[in-house]
Structure 1
Amino acid sequence: MDNLGSPMHLTSLNNTIFMKRVLPTLYVFLFCGALVLNSLATWIFFRISNQSSFIIYLKNMVAADIFMTLSFPFKIIGDFGLGNWQLRVIVCRYSAVVFYLNMYIGIIFLALISLERFIKVVRNSGNSIIQSVTISKSLSAGIWLMMLILLVPNSILTNENPTEETSKHCFKLKSSLGMKWHKVSTYFCIIIFWVSFSVLLFCYTSIAVKIYKSYKKCSRDNSVTRRKFNRNIFSVLIVFIGCFVPYHVCRIPYTLSQTGISFSYQGQLLLFHFKEGTLFLSAMNVCLDPVIYFLFSLPIYCIY
């Protein structure tokens, strides 16, 4: 689904069994699971009023996951070879952009949720700016607007006249400005991820330490309480690391391979398959996020 492609060997890279059979089959199962889980999350969380920044950030994550899930069928049909070449143009211009747009919006809101939890638990504050309902709504709108400005031009600038041949290579549908914008937006998204990851890692590690230090103050079974919340925190970290880190480690050399560094065919094949496989791991987050929603929704007791 990455908009960049190599002028050499790209057709053969896409025609492997892994790309034409294995990966789209996995996306079918992922789409079905994500649709059910996120529909349930939508039904539950959008019945809750926006009484806190936490709920606002969760609702934005749910919305991003729903939009990301709806981009899957285009990739599935295209990878199975069931659609015509015009469908590949739609994937290049629109559905791939929707996929990445909502993936990074979800990542940003995961970081914001961790920061909100950090302020509430570690800083013992309930009146921080980031916890204001009004500010949270404005911040959420600003994030959507920022990411739309960053990534929507990748659709607009994929504006070369398409043919059946050029539809096989998304980069051939881009103008020269489109190629430059894609490169800039790619690196910007990579920065967004690593900053968000650093924030999330710091916040949840700090929360775990806080819980560890304060659980003895509780009158109930402290060890059970502490283990439960530590499990929840580390589950979130494991999901985030497992889904997103492999892809973002791979995306740097992959992007470099598309923008100047030469690789052998075997090296390019391995890198391309690794990129697509780790991208699937990132997509799995739409199924795992609902689990995170419910973990986050559990009240944190005995931390003061």
Structure 2
Amino acid sequence: MDHLNSSQIPSNQSDNSSVFTKQVLPPLYCIVFAVGLSLNAAAAWIFFRVPGDAGLVVYLKNMAVADLFMLSTFPFKLAADLGFGGWHLPLIICRYTAVLFYFSMYVGILFIGFISLERYMKVIHHTPSSISLSSGRSRLGGVSWLHLMQNAAFARVLAFLTWGLLLLSNLPNVLLTSLPADQQTAFSCMKLKTPLGVQWHKMSTIFNVSLFWVTLLLVAFCYTSISRHMYKSYRRVRRDNNDVCRKSNRSIFSILAVFFICFVPYHVCRIPYTLSQMPTAGFSLDARFLLFQIKEGTIFLSALNVCLNPIIYFLMCRTFRESLLRKLSGRRRRRSLTTGQSSTNI
């Protein structure tokens, strides 16, 4: 996949490092890693205790797993950006962790699309989440396959297919980054790829980016429809339910905000950046340098989703929210009891 690190490059090669990539981004990644790890560890701890009896819960659980995979790549990038590991660490990034980063990102993007569909069916068509697979197949005139997005069993099958599809698409980027590496070639991922690897890299990039744009259209359609439906309902009912509408808006549109903040900027620049990596593209050194800086900045926004996704879990999943608040209140109660006993013993 795209070259993630901007570590030092031998003097006889083009150096894309800058104050931005060497001094600004590493501290920001440290903060995102620390915050994201603590939030996602807490989210995973709660989710593994929450029964996956609804499609939404299944999708959110898979998003949490994808975030943990993405977080596991951050230490490698940080170490390379800070100049540790010589040329061996960029080699590991090119062959393994960069692929894992993008694999995790696109898994998360697809699950955002699935959540959007699930919310669309629940809000627009008022379908119960307990629809069975058999009823979804039998009632051809009633329940469509979209209604199955709320079914937990269907969601698990869809999750399995999603992980499998993206694994098949991205795993060859590991296997075909197999040319011998040395101090001259380890800092350029494209120089480590076989001729087939270069072509697969290009095709998998187009495939992943296409998945993103399809998901973007899907998300825009779902939340535009939800917004119109909620507005019409509010005008029709005209009840004093401002607080209810406000809470619904926060929970539903939080995922839309995360999607546009984290993923849209990167995908606007990804195609020209990927083309600039090709030996025959004819980009000037200045153009490659500029595209690299833009790519590094926008990929940081993509990485920021590991901190924002737990907010989605809290706002969208009532079971998750109740479990978290119950744990926090229980801990606060135990702390107050301990403090009370200590003051009594004085």
Q: CA deviation at 1:162?
A: 1.3
Question: Partner of 2:116 in structure 1?
Answer: 114
Q: Which amino acid aligns with 2:17?
A: N
CA shift, 1:85, in A, is: 1.5
Q: Contact conserved, 1:208 with 1:233, CA < 8 A, in 2?
A: no
- What amino acid is the match of 1:31? F
Which residue in 2 is equivalent to 1:21? 23
* Offset, 1:122: 0.5
Aligned to 1:192: 211
What TM-score, normalized to structure 2? 0.81
The structural deviation recorded for 1:4 is: 9.1
Offset from partner CA, 1:224-270 (integer Å, 9 cap, x none): 22123223333322221111111000001112222343222222211
Mean CA deviation greater in 290-299 or 156-165: 290-299
Paired with 2:4 and 2:260, the residues of 1 have a C-alpha distance of 24
- CA shift digits 1:102-137 (9 cap, x unpaired): 000000001101101111110122232222222111
Tell me whether 1:226 sits opposite 2:245 in the alignment.
yes
> Is the aligned partner of 1:238 residue 2:240?
no
Give me the whole-angstrom Cα distance separating, in 1, the residues matched to 2:98 and 2:241.
47
Q: Which amino acid aligns with 1:82?
A: F
| Largest Rg, 1 or 2 | 2
CA–CA separation in structure 2 for the residues paired with 1:191 and 1:63: 23
Q: 2:302 aligns with which of 282, 287, 293?
A: 282
Cα distance in 1, alignment partners of residues 275 and 184 from structure 2: 24
Which among 314, 319, 322 is matched to residue 294 of structure 1? 314
Deviation at 1:11, TM superposition (A): 4.5
Tell me what 2:62 maps to.
60
Amino acid at match of 1:206: S
Q: CA distance change for structure 1 residues 4 and 43 in 2, over 3 Å: closer, same or farther?
A: closer
Whether 1:248 and 2:250 are equivalent positions in the alignment is: no
Structure 2 counterpart of 1:159, from 148, 163, 178 = 178
| 1:60 CA displacement | 0.2
Q: What is the aligned residue count?
A: 298
Instruction: Note if contact 2:56-2:317 (Cα within 8 Å) is conserved in structure 1.
Output: no
Give the one of 87, 90, 93 matched to 1:91: 93
Q: CA deviation at 1:52?
A: 0.6
What residue number does 2:2 align with?
2
Specify the alignment match of 2:282 in structure 1. 262
2:163 aligned with 1:144: yes
Letter in 1 for 2:228: V
AA of the residue aligned to 1:123: H
Q: Using a 3 Å threshold, how does the CA distance of structure 1 residues 234 and 55 change in structure 2: closer, same or farther? A: closer
- Change over 3 Å in CA distance of 1:10–1:227 after alignment to 2: farther
Alignment-mate amino acid for residue 315 of structure 2 = L
CA distance in 2 between partners of 1:298 and 1:213 (Å): 25
Q: Distance in 2 between matches of 1:2 and 1:256?
A: 11
C-alpha contact 2:2 2:274 (8 A) present in aligned 1? no
Structure 2: stretches of 5+ with no match in the other structure: 132-146, 320-346
Report the residue type matching 1:181 in the other structure. Answer: W
Contact kept in structure 1, 2:4 and 2:94, CA below 8 Å:
no
Task: Give, as a single letter, the amino acid of the residue that structure 2 aligns with 1:294.
Answer: F
The residue matched to 1:166 in structure 2 has which SS? Answer: coil
C-alpha contact (below 8 Å) 1:239/1:288 kept by paired residues: yes
2:112 touches 2:255 (CA, 8 Å); kept in 1? no
